[in-house]
Structure 1
Amino acid sequence: MDRPELPLPQLHAFTVLAEELHFGRAAARLGIAQPPLSQQIARLEAKVGHPLFVRGPGRVALSAAGRELLPSARRALVGLADGLAAARAVGSGRAGRLRIGFSASLALTVLPGVLRTFRERFPAVELDIREMTTAPQLAALYEDAVDVGLLREPPPAGEAGSLGFRTVLTEPFVAVLPSDHPLAARRTVGVGTLAEEPFVLFPRAVGPGLYDRIGEVCGSVGFAPRIVQHAVEWQTVCALVGAGLGVSLAPASIRRIRLRGVAFRAVEPGTVRTRVAVAWRRDDPNPLVARLLEVVGTG
Structure 2
Amino acid sequence: MEARHLRYALALADHQHFGRAAASLGIAQPPLSAQIAAVEREIGERLFDRTSRGVFPTAAGTAFLARARKALDEMGAAVVEAGRAARGETGLLRMGFIGSALLAPLPGVLGRFRKSRPDVRLDLREMGSPDSAAALVAGELDVAVGRGNPRGAGAEDLVTVPIGADHLVAVVAAAHPFAGLPEIGLEQLAAEHLIMSAPAQEPAVASHLRTLFGASALDAATTSRDVHTIIGLAACDAGVGLGPARMRLITRDDVWFCDVTPRFRLPDLQLSFRAADRSPVLAAFLDVVRANCPEVGSRLDDVLTRRQPTVAGRTQAGRGRGDPVPA
Q: Which residue of 1 aligns with 2:240?
A: 247
User: SS of 1:100's equivalent?
Assistant: strand
Q: Which residue of 2 aligns with 1:226?
A: 217
What residue identity is the alignment partner of 2:268? R
2:145 aligned to which of 125, 142, 150:
150
CA distance in 2, matches of 1:149, 1:279: 5
Question: In the TM superposition, what is the alpha-carbon distance from 1:129 to its structure 2 partner?
Answer: 2.2
Q: Which residue of 1 aligns with 2:82?
A: 87
1:279 aligned to which of 272, 278, 297:
272
| Aligned 8 A contact 2:161 2:271 in 1 | yes
CA distance in 2, matches of 1:251, 1:114: 19
Question: In the TM superposition, what is the alpha-carbon distance from 1:273 to its structure 2 partner?
Answer: 4.3
Q: Which residue of 2 aligns with 1:41?
A: 36
Question: What is the 5 A alignment of 1:22-61?
Answer: 22-57=17-52, 59-61=54-56
Runs of 5+ unmatched residues, structure 1:
1-5
Q: Which residue of 1 aligns with 2:316?
A: none
1:4-62 per-residue CA deviation (whole Å, 9 max, x = no partner) reads: xx432211221122112222332333333333322321221112211111123473222
- Indicate the larger mover: 20-29 or 114-123: 20-29
Runs of 5+ unmatched residues, structure 2:
293-327
1:118 aligned to which of 113, 119, 123:
113
| Aligned 8 A contact 1:251 1:274 in 2 | no
| Aligned 8 A contact 1:195 1:224 in 2 | no
Question: In the TM superposition, what is the alpha-carbon distance from 1:274 to its structure 2 partner?
Answer: 4.2
CA distance in 1, matches of 2:34, 2:141: 51
CA distance in 1, matches of 2:71, 2:279: 28
| Aligned 8 A contact 1:173 1:274 in 2 | no
1:138-159 per-residue CA deviation (whole Å, 9 max, x = no partner) reads: 2221232222122222336997
| Aligned 8 A contact 1:195 1:225 in 2 | no
| Aligned 8 A contact 1:102 1:131 in 2 | yes
1:168-216 per-residue CA deviation (whole Å, 9 max, x = no partner) reads: 2212321123434333342112334323333222332222223234445
Q: Which residue of 1 aligns with 2:289?
A: 296
- TM-score normalised by length of structure 1: 0.85
User: SS of 1:94's equivalent?
Assistant: coil
What residue identity is the alignment partner of 1:167? P
| Aligned 8 A contact 2:144 2:273 in 1 | yes
User: SS of 1:73's equivalent?
Assistant: helix
User: SS of 1:45's equivalent?
Assistant: helix
Question: In the TM superposition, what is the alpha-carbon distance from 1:113 to its structure 2 partner?
Answer: 0.7
Distance 1:138 1:157, change over 3 A: closer
Question: What is the 5 A alignment of 1:61-140?
Answer: 61-140=56-135
CA distance in 2, matches of 1:144, 1:172: 32
Please provide the CA RMSD for this pair. Answer: 2.6
User: SS of 2:178's equivalent?
Assistant: helix
Corresponding pairs, count: 290
Q: Which residue of 2 aligns with 1:19?
A: 14
Question: In the TM superposition, what is the alpha-carbon distance from 1:289 to its structure 2 partner?
Answer: 0.6
What residue identity is the alignment partner of 1:254? M
1:105-160 per-residue CA deviation (whole Å, 9 max, x = no partner) reads: 22222121111211222222222222223222222212322221222223369972
Q: Which residue of 2 aligns with 1:3?
A: none
CA distance in 1, matches of 2:143, 2:193: 36
CA distance in 1, matches of 2:28, 2:264: 77
- Indicate the larger mover: 255-264 or 53-62: 255-264
- TM-score normalised by length of structure 2: 0.79
1:197-238 per-residue CA deviation (whole Å, 9 max, x = no partner) reads: 33222332222223234445x27xxx5571222222222223
| Aligned 8 A contact 1:168 1:278 in 2 | yes
User: SS of 2:160's equivalent?
Assistant: strand
Question: In the TM superposition, what is the alpha-carbon distance from 1:295 to its structure 2 partner?
Answer: 0.8
